[in-house]
Chain A
Amino acid sequence: MDFGFSLSPSSAIDLDKVDLSLYRRLEQTVPDIRSCIACGSCSATCMAADYSGMSVRKLILNLQRGADVKKMLSCCMLCGKCTMVCPRGINTRKLILDVCRYYSDNKL
């Protein structure tokens, strides 16, 4: 029945329900992922960011909140500049490759 209005889905994050399976896997292969301080150096230096919304900071945050990261990753050129600028020494390039590997292994 059409009441002439609809409810928009909630954008709130419910930490009890988020799916962290990918994040938990990455914690094993790139343990430094936990020490991100969201400074944004990676995004600021990213060659693809201006045109595509690619951001390693958002990538890590989305992984921690169980959100999808596939679209963002498709724009990465693997140049490695984000790895060079990270003050916490996170191997962001390996992180990106591991996420891609997870997606291709699972045919997602």
Chain B
Amino acid sequence: MKESVVIIGGGIAGLEAASQLLALGLSPVIVEKSDHLGGHVAEWYRLFPDLSPAQDLVTHLVSSTSGARIYLETEISRINALKDGYSATLNNGDVLFCKAVLVCTGFHLFDAAKKEEYGYGIYNSVITNRDLEHWFGGLEDARIPDNPRAVGFVHCVGSRDVKAGNTQCSKVCCMTAIKQAIEMKEKFPEAEVYCFYMDLRLFGKKYEDFYISAQRDYGIHFIRGRVSEVSEDIDGRLLVKAEDTLSGKPLKVRLDLLVLMAGMVCSPQTGRIASMVRAEVDDDGFLRSRDNIYSIVESGRKGIFFAGACTGTKTIPETVAEARAAALSAFRYIKEKA
């Protein structure tokens, strides 16, 4: 009988790890709490930097895991350490015996309504990056006007914010904002598009090219200053205030749509799983790897591995690469024990 690995979470990390474990001759079992595979990526429309459809990636990953056992709408109730592995009890009563557990519980998108000053859930024309992505994907959204004159993007919503409880940079939002700003400009060429940023963190391949293109080819305005507050004027337009830190003056502008770049924060699910497998949680709420340079996919405990955004904010290519690394680490662990 093939040795089994329980993968907690059926997002892109879990799927890619399962596909690699299958190729390595092991038997992965994916336990996913929601009703679909692909996690957050399955809800996205297009991915930077190539503007490729997110659905293509998810479809590819799902098809490459057809040999794996997959539980949807199922949660782990309990994990017990055995002499040579673990047993995971599911909330449907099934018990899975495995040699290793791979935690791929991902992240949680910051709840933008917590930053009350930005008016999400208060003003009609304030939406989040996820709402906009859903709309790009064809979902109706009455909050998005037919012909906006001015659109704004607020970077770092819930990220790099001690008061929101998240000191970490969410890493992907700068690039997502630029991608979405360009997509908005393509839909509404007449609209002025503003990005309000603290720092622009465009570290990845092609990211800076995207930024240059957003500036030069699309005329998107980048304003260095964090939005301090949003209010609504008598015509129902949004009045946005920030400091233009480059000129050192307060700045205001009226907008028809404001998009909040909600960041990645640790998922509450992750903490629950961590206590079950007795893995350590870091002070940022994400899981603590054995070390942050060489062994990101390893926990401090034998047979417990991590992949993807459960250990910190990650891009998709980073997550996929980690999933492969984690699959290989789990494989080597099982073979060396045998």
Chain A positions near chain B (C-beta within 8 angstroms):
11-16, 27, 31-32, 34-36, 38, 57-58, 61-62, 64-65, 67, 88
Residues of chain B with a CB closer than 8 A to A31's CB:
216
Report whether B219 and A27 are in contact in the complex, using a CB–CB cutoff of 8 Å: yes
Whether the Cβ atoms of A88 and B212 lie closer than 8 Å is yes
Q: Which residue of B lies closest to A67 (CB)?
A: B247
Chain A residues near B216: list those with CB within 8 A.
31-32, 34-35
Complex formed: what's the CA distance from A12 to B252 in Å?
7
Indicate if the CB atoms of A65 and B252 lie closer than 8 Å: no
Other A-B pairs beyond A16-B254, A61-B246, 7, CB < 8 Å: A12-B251, A14-B252, A35-B215, A35-B216, A38-B224, A58-B247, A61-B247
Q: Which residue of B lies closest to A31 (CB)?
A: B216
A18 CB, nearest partner CB in chain B, Å: 10
Most chain B CB neighbours (cut-off 10 Å) among A35, A62, A67, A88: A35
Name B200's closest neighbour in chain A (CB-CB): A37
Cα distance, A47 to B111, chains bound together (Å): 50
B253, A14: Cβ atoms closer than 8 Å: yes
Q: Which residues of B contact A11 (CB under 8 A)?
A: 249-250
In the complex, how many angstroms separate the beta carbon of B231 from the nearest chain A beta carbon? 14
Complex contacts, B224 vs chain A, CB 8 Å: 38
**Measured between alpha carbons, how far is A16 from B235 in the docked complex, in Å?**
14
The residues of A that contact B280 with a CB separation of less than 8 Å are none
Closest to B220 in A: A34
B246-A38 in contact (CB<8A): yes
Please give me the 10 A-B residue pairs with the lowest Cβ-Cβ distance, nearest first: A15-B253, A12-B250, A13-B251, A35-B215, A35-B216, A34-B215, A34-B216, A16-B254, A38-B246, A13-B249
Contacts of B244 in A (CB 8 A): 13, 65
Tell me the residues in window 45-102 of chain B with beta carbons closer than 8 Å to chain A beta carbons.
none
Q: Given the complex of chains A and B, what is the CA–CA distance between A62 and B248 in angstroms?
A: 12
Query: Once the chains are docked, how many angstroms separate the CA of A38 from the CA of B216?
Result: 14
Which residue in chain B gives the minimum CB-CB distance to A33? Answer: B216
Do A64 and B221 touch across chains, with their CB atoms under 8 A apart? Answer: yes
Docked CA distance A14–B242 (Å): 11
Closest chain-A Cβ to B113's Cβ sits at a distance in Å of 26
Measured CB to CB, the nearest residue on chain A to B240 is A15
Known A-B contacts A31-B216, A32-B216, A35-B212; the reply to A16 vs B246 at CB < 8 A is: no
Given A38-B224, A64-B221: A13 and B250 interface contact (C-beta under 8 Å): yes
Interface string of B235-278 (1 = CB under 8 A from A): 00000000010110111111000000000000000000000000
Using Cβ atoms and an 8 Å threshold, which residues of chain B touch A65? 244, 247
B250's closest neighbor in chain A, by CB?
A12
